[in-house]
Structure 1
Amino acid sequence: MLELTFSADDLAYTRFAFSPLWEAVAAARVVKYPAEHPLHRRWVEAVRPRLAGTRLDPLLELIGPRLIAAFACPPPTSPAPDLALELAALRRQPHGRVADDRAALGLPPSSDPQADLDRLADTVAEFWDVALAPYWPRVRTLLDGDILYRARLLASGGAHRLFADLSPGVTWMGDHLRVPRSRPGALALDGRGLLLVPSAFVWPKLFSLTAPGWQPLLRYPARGVGTLWERTERDAPEALARILGRSRARLLALLDEPASTAALAVRTGLSPGGTSQHLTALRDAGLVSAHRTGRYVLYARTEIAEALLAPPP
């Protein structure tokens, strides 16, 4: 059990952020240990064939069953960073920190730490493009929803209510937060606060970072992650169909998971040419994005489209 001690300043400085870099690293862990993550089986089955020609060794070697090299996913420095910003921070990690983390994982020392950092950043970027970019709007919607929900808990019931709902086994008592962890420990936050990072790929575990020199943080399962990969054959809202046209609204509704033009044509009954024209129009309007994976182009909803299809609050 890990015990974190809060001061009044620490409570005031407790905040939320999400991290595309962490999601990529945690998703790679799911690919490496799929049996431990049954919730993500549908996603793994979809992306594994597309990863066949991708060299992931520089990333996967830093991921163990219980430990991930901290330098590979430093804490986000803003509430909603983009991947490029975080990859730039990854390339600037101190070489001594790289050596310490590699030793903790039982890996040999690096002969050229900066070259290895650059190679790791390139590998993460390639993994992101193939395995996560087409799904990011869906994941981002899940993370945003979790942060909004927990911010309301904090506003209505304070830290006690926030942490009571964070994850099984997490308890708030007085000025202490107790967090399940295989290695026991204690840490006074000393005015640094606690960074809370929801994650789509961490379930069923919590990951904490409390080592010296780091911003203390908890990465916890985002609320509703169990429904992330469910396929729901929902109809497009009638109002949206009147604006976009029924065919285009139907295509948006079918993109609960990224799909190719050919697959969407089969599911809608439209011709491949007609489907392509509709997808181009939706892409020009910022409602779908296109992601090339090998010989295929997969279309996915953007965050704007996710919001348009979301049920009323």
Structure 2
Amino acid sequence: MRFHVGPDDLAASRFALGPAAELEHLLRRLDSPSRTPSGRAFSSSRWARRYDQVRDTLEARALRALRPHGWGPDFIAPPPTGGLARTPADDFAAIRATPLPVARDQIGRALTLRGRVVPDDVIRVLQRDDVLDWLADALERLWRLLIAPDWPQLLAILDRDMLYRADRLVRSGWAAALEDLHQQVRWTEGAVVISNRSDLEVHLDGRGLMFVPSVFLHRGLATYTEPPWQPAVVYVARGSAALWDPQPTTPPALARLLGQTRADLLLRLDTPASTTQLCTLTGHTLGAVGDHLRVLRESGLVTRSRAGRSVVYRRTAVGDALAAVGSD
């Protein structure tokens, strides 16, 4: 798969959030439980326990019918567009605003690809004149049940990934920003190429390409290539493993040297982060994190710089060396 990138596309391409897409990836995992990066069964996760409350409802079954293997309707998980921050409410509004003929076409395609009998009550719901509002309401309720309780933590992981890649983009260009995004993705002269995909040629024509991090995408990549949606590539965010092992083990020697909290912050800064993100990840107050970062900065272990509206902290070479020694 090759996304042809022109000069205007480079300026229009960016990393952005896709809240509804995150919900869709979570629902796919909940309906096909797998193992987490730490090896634990996803079926025993807190999201699976929440989903058990609604797994057999008409809403869950109707959405499941729209989820054939290897494909899914774009309109129930719209990709981000432009440079504006995307909220869950934005996505649900976009779902409701989908032209009905477009939604009906994608619903029909999903049911055909599913290749099995769909219950009559599900068919009746999907044939309703107000199917877009019905599905948006169902997704909004599932969002509140499944994701909303953890959204601050999830958002911190996603924001941190985008901050990391934006930093690499500014410093070294698109090739560096995409270098470790996924082994199948590479930047070539004038194109973003995804290997092991169909030989599809997508001409961006000034629309740009959105790169959307996800914490629940199980493996591989997801792509948006069909009009009228914004072309996009969804990938697994750096730091997603923190969901399964949120408290990294701080080496005792490093904790004795720096103090437990400062040692923990130093280890977490293997990827640049803002004070707010570190507060969300650690549970410490803004004032406490700020005080500890000041000590680390005055000690030459971290440095800070401005990235947009945020002040971002990153380890210095000395900080990297100390963290590496402490982890041995």
TM over 0.5: yes
Change (3 A) 1:37 1:64: farther
Unaligned runs of 5+ in 1: 236-248, 250-286, 288-300
Is residue 96 from structure 1 mapped to residue 101 from structure 2 by the alignment? yes
CA–CA separation in structure 2 for the residues paired with 1:153 and 1:25: 28
CA–CA separation in structure 2 for the residues paired with 1:210 and 1:51: 30
Select which of 79, 84, 105 maps to 2:89.
Answer: 84
CA–CA separation in structure 2 for the residues paired with 1:42 and 1:111: 33
- Matched residue, 2:77: 73
Q: How does 1:241-260 map to 2 (within 5 A)?
A: none
Return the letter of the residue paired with 1:90.
I
Mapped contact 2:16–2:213 kept (Cα < 8 A): yes
Change (3 A) 1:36 1:5: farther
CA–CA separation in structure 1 for the residues paired with 2:220 and 2:137: 27
Cα offset, 1:168, TM superposition: 1.0
After TM superposition, what 4+ stretches of structure 1 lie above 6 angstroms from structure 2? 301-304
Mapped contact 1:25–1:59 kept (Cα < 8 A): no
Cα offset, 1:214, TM superposition: 1.5
- Matched residue, 2:150: 135
Select which of 164, 167, 170 maps to 2:179.
Answer: 164
TM-score where L is the length of structure 2: 0.68
Q: How does 1:272-283 map to 2 (within 5 A)?
A: none
Unaligned runs of 5+ in 2: 113-122, 251-260, 262-275, 294-312, 314-328
Partner deviation per Cα, 1:8-32 (whole Å, 9 max, x = no partner) = 1111111121021111111111101
CA–CA separation in structure 2 for the residues paired with 1:231 and 1:212: 39
Mapped contact 1:21–1:83 kept (Cα < 8 A): yes
State the SS of the aligned residue for 1:220.
Answer: strand
Return the letter of the residue paired with 1:3.
R
- Matched residue, 1:10: 9
Partner deviation per Cα, 1:111-137 (whole Å, 9 max, x = no partner) = 22x422222112211211221111111
Return the letter of the residue paired with 1:84.
A
Change (3 A) 1:224 1:307: farther
State the SS of the aligned residue for 2:183.
Answer: coil
Mapped contact 2:30–2:42 kept (Cα < 8 A): no
CA–CA separation in structure 2 for the residues paired with 1:104 and 1:227: 36
Aligned residues: 248
Select which of 182, 189, 203 maps to 1:188.
Answer: 203
Is residue 111 from structure 1 mapped to residue 111 from structure 2 by the alignment? no
Mapped contact 1:19–1:80 kept (Cα < 8 A): no
* RMSD between superposed Cα atoms in Å: 2.9
Change (3 A) 1:169 1:46: same
Cα offset, 1:64, TM superposition: 2.5
